[in-house]
Structure 1
Amino acid sequence: MTLATTSAPPRPGLREKLQDALPKIVLAPSFAAILVFVYGFILWTIYLSFTNSKTFPSYELTGGLAYQRLWGWTFESDPPSSWYYSITNMAVFGVLYVGICMVLGLFIAILLDQRIRGEGILRPIYLYPMALSFIVTGVAWKWFLDPGLGLEATLHNLGWTSFHFDWIKNKDRVIYTVVIAGVWQASGFVMAMFLAGLRGVDGEMLKAAQIDGASTFQVYWRIVIPILRPVFLSAFIVLAHMAIKSYDLVVALTSGGPGGSAWLPSNFMYEYTFKRNQMAIGSASAVIMLMTISAIIVPYLYSELREKK
């Protein structure tokens, strides 16, 4: 009688070990670069915000002095008007930009979902602005809104001399020109997101609702739009992130506006860090922007990971 012997699995050779380690070897340089140049500099910026750095970094901690000066709590020589202008503009721009883009994008997506003629042509037309950079968008709208050579001048040449549209030179309304340009660029992208969601809705369910006597408005309001809740959330996250970090659109369109009246927090941060040599205050504003973005993105990522588990 012979006993069956089980042989031990062969040890992996050098080639197999290299194949297993190859993805880690390839990803290691980029991971190290991200670790240093993204998260490392984030920590460095947070550290500088608690110093009194000006033109060059100062590593002596001064507590929350930079944050106090940012909000104008201590020094009368540093008026907080520019920072308050920035956060007020951010609130106006963010609410209008996100809200109008989502409403307009959903409306266009619903129209295209009716299988209208020329959908294959209209869809890329609406998407095309998103392919442009904010610099190109800002310059184009700057020419279009300039009273001396854009819309106002054209209508004056056509005989409508009573028409006036000088928002781009009006410090109280210049922020709304940034909203117009931003909505023009991003609404097509939001339309594409909603259209993809609409095409994923079960058609049999919609037909059943119509057979039961539901109108088209009721079908979309009570069935389709609630189903699109994840798309609404994703669109909100993307648009809010783009709104908070907007910088180049403001610079290209308004050059900051009359007296900095179109500044957003990103413009304030750049101005104080690189032009006014107030590195600590600029770092403090950057940290506040980071906290704002984190307050939006982190709960979203947590909910996504929780659903997957």
Structure 2
Amino acid sequence: MTSIVTDRMQTPERATQRKSLRARLQEWLPKIVLAPSFAITLFFVYGFILWTIYLSFTKSKAFPSYTLTDARAYQRLWRWTFESNPPSSWYTSITNMVIFGVLYIVFCLAIGLFLAILLDQKIRGEGVLRPIYLYPMALSFIVTGVAWKWFLDPGLGLEQTMHQWGWTSFHFDWIKNKDYVIYTVVIAGVWQASGFIMAMFLAGLRGIDSEIIKASQIDGASPIQLYRRIIIPLLRPVFLSALIVLAHMAIKSYDLVVALTSGGPGGSAWLPSNFMYEYTFKRNEMAVGSASAVIMLATMSAIIVPYLYSELREKNR
């Protein structure tokens, strides 16, 4: 009789222990599953970032040198940026990065916002237009570069077609002109990314409270005033997110330049990513290539860190 009572008293305790064990398993199971991925990311991403920074302060050539020296690689890049005459390949890369980055971001934001506003009017055929605008983003940069290379080639694409139609005075040889080749990269990049930015803005427009819009219309706000003073300011988080995405894509652009222009005449279409690859793997200047990669990382961090700081501060508030 005593043993039966004892077993009944222990049963709730055992049930409680089983629940606590199950809760612990549910708490630790996601961590156990994600631990290998976290370790791999920590090693192959952040570990190699630290390794690249380390190599930039060595005399590494074709093979790594692990003896720290000084910031000679950065000094060379600095000299090539401001003191080289004629302009060096690094100066060309930096100049092209400014031109490409500014035009790429501005045009993608403007076209994406315009297309989003257009589709937000509940126009007929929205279900057909939306995937058409998004389709370029589904293509790789290699495919985009090759397609636009054929289209812009004076002997194959637009110029040749115009000549066959009788407009023999039409000329569009930017892809062969070292002064304008970077603008062909802008055209191809904007064509590919504008649809994705449109989707971001469209999601932001559809998320705005309709009561705010109705109240503004009742107060007599015109469509232009409605968008300029109410809707577009409310899209500030979307603008920031789109800016971060576009800046990241612009800084790491490599395959688009290679597929479209093969670097351009005399490397005139180089971006810092092309410079880094050329000097690291072809010219056996690993320290210089690592230094250029670190500068690219610092540029990206200068854009992302303030954005993350502002987002975290708003959440804390």
- TM range, normalised to the smaller chain? over 0.9
Q: Which amino acid is the alignment partner of residue 98 of structure 1?
A: I
For residue 235 of structure 2, what is the aligned residue in structure 1? 228
Find the partner of 2:285 among 278, 282, 300: 278
Shift of 1:17: 5.0
Q: CA deviation at 1:21?
A: 2.9
Between Structure 1 and Structure 2, the one with more helix by share is 2
Distance 2:46 2:13 in 1: 45
The answer to whether the aligner puts 1:59 opposite 2:93 as a matched pair is no
CA distance in 1, matches of 2:103, 2:206: 27
Please give the per-residue CA displacement for 1:240-275, whole angstroms capped at 9, x wherever unaligned: 110001000000000000000000000000000000
After superposition, residues 255-266 of structure 1 pair within 5 angstroms as 255-266=262-273
Alignment gaps of 5+ in structure 2? 1-8
Q: CA separation in 1, counterparts of 2:128 and 2:252?
A: 32
Residue 121, structure 1, aligned to residue 124, structure 2? no
* C-alpha separation in 2, matches of 1:59 and 1:252: 35
Alpha-carbon distance in 2 for matches of 1:193, 1:108: 11
Q: 1-side partners of 2:208 and 2:121: how far apart?
A: 13
Q: Deviations over 1:59-117 (max 9, x none)?
A: 1111100111122279x999861000001000000000000000111111111111111
Q: In the alignment, is the contact (CA less than 8 A) between 1:71 and 1:83 conserved in 2?
A: no
TM-score by length of structure 1 reads 0.93
Letter in 1 for 2:99: V
The alignment status of 1:31 with 2:6, answered yes or no, reads: no
The one of 45, 53, 65 aligned to 2:52: 45
Is residue 310 of structure 2 the alignment partner of residue 303 of structure 1? yes
Q: TM-score w.r.t. structure 2 length?
A: 0.91
**AA in 1 matched with 2:301:** S
CA distance 1:208–1:39, shift in 2 (3 Å): same
Corresponding residue to 1:140 among 135, 147, 169 = 147
Unmatched runs of 5 consecutive residues or more in structure 1: none
Change (3 A) 1:254 1:73: closer
- The answer as to whether partners of 2:80 and 2:88 remain within 8 angstroms in 1 is no
Aligned residue in 2 for 1:91 = 98
| Structure 1 residues 166 and 79, CA gap change in structure 2 (3 angstroms) | closer
Residue 200 of structure 2 corresponds to 193
Q: Which moved more, 1:201-210 or 1:48-57?
A: 201-210
Distance of aligned partners of 1:79 and 1:22 in 2 relative to their CA distance in 1, 3 Å threshold: farther
2:220 maps to what in 1? 213
Aligned equivalents of 1:18, 1:218: Cα separation in 2:
56
**Corresponding residue number in structure 2 for 1:172:** 179
Deviation at 1:8, TM superposition (A): 6.8
Residue identity opposite 1:240 in structure 2 = A
Alignment RMSD: 2.2
Match for 2:88: what amino acid? S
1:208 Cα deviation from its structure 2 partner = 2.3
| Aligned partner (choices 97, 107, 120) of residue 114 of structure 2 | 107
Q: How many residues were matched structurally?
A: 304
